[in-house]
Amino acid sequence: PSLHRQRHQFVIDFVRKNKPKQVADLGCGECKLLKQLKFHRNIELLVGVDTNGAKIKKMMHGLAPLSTDYLQPTYDQLRVELYQGSVTQRDARLRRFDLVTSIELIEHLTLTDLERFASVVFGYMSPASVIVSTPNSEFNALLPGLTGFRHSDHKFEWNRSEFRSWALKVCLDYGYEVEFTGVGEAPQDQQESIGFCSQIGVFHRLQGNDHCNALHGSDVEEVFSYILVYSVNY
Ligand code: SAM
C-alpha cells in the first residue's frame, strides 16, 4: 500500500483499538481519512478542519450517507461536520474530543504557527489522544531523485531527534505523554539508523494535568472562528 494509505491505516487501527466517540481530523484536505472513518460504528461525531475550503468542498459529498445507510438503520448515530478554519485558531466546538489527528500537516506551518498549533490543539482543544505524523528527513536519502524537501510547501522537515524534542516539549507544556512510531519502513539493515519514512507521535493526555498550561472550564471563552461548510446526520 502507498505511504498515504499506510498513514491513514495507522489511524484506523488506532480507532479500532481505542474506540473514540468524537474524532477530529485537522488538515483533512479532501476528506479521504474521514471517509474511511465514517464506517466505524463507535464514532458519534466526525469533524474535519482545513484552511482550504475549495479542497474540502470538492470531495465532501462522499461523506453523505449511502441509501443503504437508511435502509438498514442502526441505533448508532453519526454526525459529520466539516469546517473551513486554521489550526492556529481556537474554536469551542472542537474542545475535549477523544481523538484529534494531524496527518502530514505540521510541516506546512511556519515555526510561529507551529507554536500556535501546540497551544490550540494541546492547550485548548485538549483531546484525550492526538496523533501527529510528519516526514522523517533522515529517510529522504532513500527517496530517489529528491533534493531539498519532499514538497515545495513544506516549511521544515525534521529528523527523529528534532521531532522528539518538539513532542517532549509539548508534553511538558500541556500535560501529555507521547510514544514514537511511524510508517514506511527502511530496508532492514537501515531501519535503526534511518527510521520510518513518516514519523508518528501518539500523545495521551495525563490525568489531572491542571498544573500545566491547559485551559479549564470557566477560563475558556467561547470562540467560534471556524466556518461550517458541511454537516450531515446519519
Ligand atoms: N491530512 C491529509 C492527508 O493525510 O492526506 C492532507 C495532508 S496535506 C499534505 C496538508 C493539508 O493541511 C492541506 O489540505 C492544507 O490545506 C492543510 N492546512 C495547511 N495549513 C493549515 C492550517 N493552518 N489549518 C488547517 N489546515 C491546514
Measuring CA to CA, how many Å separate 91 from each of 21, 87, 121, 154, 224? 19, 9, 10, 25, 5
Q: Which pLDDT band holds residue 110 (cuts at 50, 70, 90)?
A: very high
Helix or strand holding residue 114 (H, E): helix 111-118
Is 3-233 a domain of CATH 3.40.50.150?
Answer: yes
Nearest-atom number in ligand 1 for the CA of 102 is 1
Is the CB of 231 inside a 6 Å radius of any atom of ligand 1?
no
Region 120-132: what's the mean pLDDT? 98
Is the CB of 105 inside a 6 Å radius of any atom of ligand 1?
yes
- The string of pLDDT tens digits covering residues 141-170 is 999 888 899 999 999 999 999 999 999 999
Torsion of CA 23, 18, 178, 150, to 10 degrees: -60
- Interface TM-score (ipTM) > 0.95: yes
Q: Is pLDDT at 102 greater than 90 in this prediction?
A: yes
- The string of pLDDT tens digits covering residues 190-205 is 999 999 999 999 999 9
Is the CB of 49 inside a 6 Å radius of any atom of ligand 1?
yes
Is the CB of 87 inside a 6 Å radius of any atom of ligand 1?
yes
Nearest-atom number in ligand 1 for the CA of 117 is 23
How far away, in angstroms, is 211 Cα from ligand 1 center?
A: 32
Q: How many residues are there in the chain?
A: 234
Q: Which cell goes with 98?
A: 477523544
Is residue 18 within 8 A of residue 10, CB to CB? The reply is no
Q: Which residues does 61 contact at the CB level (< 8 Å), separation at least 6?
A: none
Question: What is the domain partition of the chain in residue ranges?
Answer: 3-233
**Bridge partner list, 198:** 135, 183
Q: Is pLDDT at 187 greater than 70 in this prediction?
A: yes
